Structure 1
Amino acid sequence: MTQSTDTQATHWLSAGAHEALTAQLADMRGPQLTKIVAEISAARDEGDLKENGGYHAAREAQGRLVGEADALEVLLRTSFTDAPVADGVVAPGVVVTYKFEGDDDDEAETFLLGAIEMKPFAHGLDVFSPAAPLGAALLGHTAGDTVSYTGPTGREIKVQIVSAKPFED
């Protein structure tokens, strides 16, 4: 899949994550929803719906499932899986190693720049969105660059990019 032309923001997912999330969506829209609909039907057959806790619980579960499936569908529709170019530039799909100004190299931290839904597929890496303050500040910069951004407390934070390598699924 290539980068979305949808007017909504686009999100990078690895090909493996996209495939797994597509299968998850199919399961949510198919077997999971069918099971909940059957539970609703069985509870409705019990009679009085005002006092029927099983019916109301099943309807709430249906609403949650449909909402989660709708959100996942939007994510998949607005995502792209293009592998980043291996040129050391920070971009979605890149594993970034950075350190705070004044820290030693052994204090460097690493994260994957991509959609937060990549977390289960990120091989234990933290995942930051390109819209997060650190992700946005580093976007487009290369290894060796020192970049400033405003932290959550309003303080200016300087970080140095140690490396930027494409994520391997």
Structure 2
Amino acid sequence: KIEPSLDEKRRIFCKDARDIAKEGCGLKSMRSALKAYKVDVKYCQLGCFKEKKGKQFIVRTKTWIENADGDLLFGRGKTELLELIGQTGSLLHASKLMGINYKKAWMHLQALQKNSQEILVSTRQGRSKESGTKLTPRALELMENYSILQKDIEEYANKRFKELFLKGKK
């Protein structure tokens, strides 16, 4: 399964090795096979495999969504804020985890709701189990869709990067 993914110098991209490992053999077996067949791994950003060091180029992408007026609707920071609100049930705790003050987090949330023209969180005061800040189904949908979009863009960017900058190396 490894051979088709190797380049002429018997190297494999980390992502390709991980994909093969996911198909059934697992990372541990993949590491053993790569070592046994003396295959080098290229561009391992996750630390899954030992990599022969050399000069590396990595493409990075940043995706955000704006409305027609150029106001930020959704991006990495807003997504992180919503994720942390969902995990902690609190805007205050989410802001502390992000390292920003409560007012800034609150302003981000208000801008997000205003620009998207949707209610993304519901808040209930008190000390019961039902109290706190909860994400609406629409917020969860937006987060999921943004995550899918970001993943698709990064996959395309990496594929295109390999085609343009690593010609003949794979």
Q: What TM-score comes out, normalization by structure 1 length?
A: 0.24
Higher strand share: 1
Give the number of the structure with larger relative contact order, counting CA–CA contacts within 8 Å between residues 6 or more apart: 1
Q: What TM-score comes out, normalization by structure 2 length?
A: 0.24
Higher helix share: 2
